[in-house]
Amino acid sequence: MRTESMSLEEKIGQMFVGGFPGTGVSGDFARLVREKKLGNAILFSHNVESIGQLVGLSGELRGLIRKETGILPFISADEEGGMVSRLPAEAAIMPSPMAQAKAGKPGWIRRGAFITGCQLKRWGINFNLAPVLDRNTNRNNPVIGVRSFGADAGTVCTCAKEAVLGYRKAGILCSGKHFPGHGDTDLDSHLALPVLEKSEEELESCELVPFRQMVEEKIPAITVAHVVAPAISGERVPCTMSRNAVTGYLREKLHFDGLILSDCLEMNAVKSYFGVERGAVEAVKAGIDLVFVSHTAALLEKAMDAVRSAVTAGEISQRRIDEAVFRILRAKERLLDEELRAYTPQLTEWRAFSDSFLKETLRPLRPGQACFSPGEHPLFVGIAPARTSGAANEVGGSRDFAHFLQESFGGTAVCLSMKPDRESAARAAELAKQADTVVFGSFNQRLYPEQNALFSALAAAEKPMAHIALGNPWDLDDDRISAFRLPLYEYSERALNLLKAYLTSSSDTGVPRSE
């Protein structure tokens, strides 16, 4: 379909991506497809129960949107690996990007992305909102952390390139994120408005390096973050809403010719400060091609109506709309070509690979560090499962660290909140005095002083101690307290199973089993 034959409503429908609650297409979403010609969808973990259900849902979406628009939809998801995963539990889910990088096997990253892409494509998702290109240089960052391949530019570029090649081989689109960089912020843009107070030279020598590299590698899409970067935007608005940042820098200075996506406009960095409708208008004016309003049908409809009104009033030019739709249709034509090539899922083999990949990351913080045996009367203290950022799934699912390990090793289990109070910490410290050993599972402890206090209280019992980092590995940086230190990189049942096997082998032999 050519843009000349499309109505304004049809064009705007192609420029928006929407989501819905539940495991079936909602009535409100379906109405927007029929009445507003909404052309694309995004799925989250709350939309997915099983492979069969996902295949049915994506098929329903595809059929509905193609019937009403005549055009293939983008069906997208954030499948980064680790704790940011939308695939069903029976899928082969790769480790978090940071864990992948720590494994030291770039070829495995390409294979992991290929496997991920094959699963997504086979089950109806043709656009993966990954890889993360952020360099996590700020250890107080509450939203990136293990989602990043690391802080080093070379590592991030190498790993991201392998991921892009894997997705390309699988025949799906991918999008690097979060331009111009979300790794050196201490605010979560799902909740607030982060600011990068850096000069253009500083940004170009740090945050922007992976984005420049991926533009050269012909990445098909880049997602713009709701971060303020005055050095490249010239104003204190999110880059998503800045023409200087999107068109002036990404499009013209970096010569990027692919799709430019917004992060979700329902995130508070836009919703609370500017409003979703104004955010959508400014994003399109800035040069965003594909606008995400990922959760609420009423807000999505208002955003689409606001853009239409802005075009009618002359605030947004018809040319700007046509440029965006041209890029969208061009990308969809390539996806149609790729549909002829599909790989039959080999789930048993692929799950074995993802398990092996995760196992490769399970190494004590210090090479040669003695192993740890829980002993006969261990105390397991851990943080309860919780949703720690707007991007992540609920950590740990329904299984908490302490009780999971107690089932295998006996002893006592204490499960505490992300911010344990003094009384809870004191009770756990008393139990530590009665135990043979203490095994503490922290989750992003650096961000929660209450967890630091709990760790110190447990260590005061002066019992052999293991510290397991279930999220960011720099929980383990403070070596003033003697402990066996092991980064796990994700709080999930499969990671806990791997930890259980590791501790079991230590208990049986005193050393981990050889691989």
Give the whole-angstrom CA distance, residue 291 versus residue 17.
6
Q: Check residue 512 and give its pLDDT.
A: 36
pLDDT of residue 397: 53
Between residues 118 and 3, the one the model is more confident about: 118
Average pLDDT over residues 444-464: 94
* Lowest-confidence segment of 177-181, 500-504, 508-512 by average pLDDT: 508-512
Question: Which pLDDT score is estimated for 389?
Answer: 53
Can you give the pLDDT at residue 396? 45
365-509 shares the fold of 9-349: no
Q: Report, as an integer, the average pLDDT of 355-381.
A: 86
Structure tokens at 319: 């040319």
DSSP 388: -
Mean pLDDT value across residues 170-193 = 88
Q: Specify the DSSP element, H or E, that contains 483.
A: none
Classify the C-alpha dihedral 44-47-49-53 as positive or negative. Answer: negative
User: Going by C-beta distance under 8 Å and a sequence separation of 6 or more, which residues neighbour residue 211?
Assistant: 133, 176, 179, 180, 181, 222, 250, 254
State what percent of residues in the chain have pLDDT above 90. 81
Whole-angstrom Cα distance, residue 58 to residue 41? 9
Question: How does the average pLDDT of the chain come out, rounded?
Answer: 92
CATH number of 365-509: 3.40.50.1700
Q: How far apart are CA 290 and CA 303, in angstroms?
A: 12
Name the band, by pLDDT with cuts 50, 70 and 90, for residue 184: confident
Q: Average the pLDDT over each of 116-130, 317-331, 368-382 and give the range with the smallest value.
A: 368-382
Assigned token pair, 305: 């109506």
Q: pLDDT value at position 351? A: 96
pLDDT of residue 431: 98
Question: What's the pLDDT score for residue 514?
Answer: 31
Report the distance separating Cα 283 and Cα 298, nearest Å: 19
The closest of 465, 407, 416 to 445, measured between CA atoms, is: 416
Q: What's the whole-model pTM score? A: 0.93
The Cβ of residue 150 has, within 10 Å, a number of other Cβ atoms equal to 21
- What is the spatial distance between Cα 129 and Cα 23, in angstroms, rounded to a whole number? 20
Which backbone phi and psi does 486 adopt, to 5 degrees? -135, 115
Checking if the pLDDT of 10 tops 90, the result is yes
Q: Cα–Cα distance between 191 and 125 in angstroms, integer?
A: 27
Give the E-state strand segments of 334-429 in sequence order.
Answer: 378-383, 412-416
The answer to whether 382 touches 401, Cβ cutoff 8 Å, is yes
9-349: which CATH architecture?
Alpha-Beta Barrel (3.20)
Q: Determine which of 15-29, 160-174, 188-202, 428-442 has the lowest per-residue pLDDT on average.
A: 188-202
CA dist 250 and 262 (Å) reads 13
Mean local confidence (pLDDT), 205-212: 97
pLDDT of 212 reads 98
Question: Taking a C-beta distance cutoff of 8 angstroms, is the pair 310, 278 a contact?
Answer: no
pLDDT at res. 29: 98
Q: Per 3-state DSSP, what percentage of the chain is helix, strand, and coil (rounded to 5)?
A: 45, 10, 40
Check if the beta carbon of residue 440 is closer than 8 Å to that of residue 468.
Answer: yes
17 and 294 in contact (C-beta within 8 Å)? yes
Instruction: Tell me which of 46-55, 66-75, 366-375, 429-438 is least confident.
Output: 366-375
What's the pLDDT score for residue 213? Answer: 98
Mean pLDDT of 279-287: 98
| CA angle, 202 then 207 then 212, to 5° | 105
Give pLDDT tens digits for 387-440.
Answer: 555 565 554 455 799 999 999 999 999 999 999 999 999 999 999 999 999 999
State mean pLDDT over 95-103. 96
pLDDT above 70: residue 369 = no
Rounded CA-CA distance 152/173 in Å is 25
Q: Which amino acid is at 318?
A: Q
User: What is the predicted pLDDT for the residue at 392?
Assistant: 57
Helix axes 347-360, 493-509, angle to 10 degrees: 60
Q: Which residues contact 40 (CB under 8 A, 6 or more apart)?
A: 14, 16, 17, 18, 65, 73, 74, 75, 76, 290
At residue 365 the predicted structure's pLDDT band, cuts being 50, 70 and 90, is confident
Model pLDDT, residue 340? 66
In the numeric block, the tokens 């390990």 are attached to 405
Beta-strand pair 465-469/437-442 = parallel
- What is the structure's pLDDT at 436? 96
Distance CA(80)–CA(82), nearest Å, equals 7
Q: What is the pLDDT of residue 393?
A: 59
What are the domain boundaries of the chain? Answer: 9-349, 365-509
pLDDT in tens, 225-267: 999 999 999 888 999 999 999 999 999 999 999 999 999 999 9
Strands in 465-469's sheet, in edge-to-edge order, are 412-416, 378-383, 437-442, 465-469, 484-487
- Amino acid 385: pLDDT: 83
Q: Cα 425 from chain centroid?
A: 31
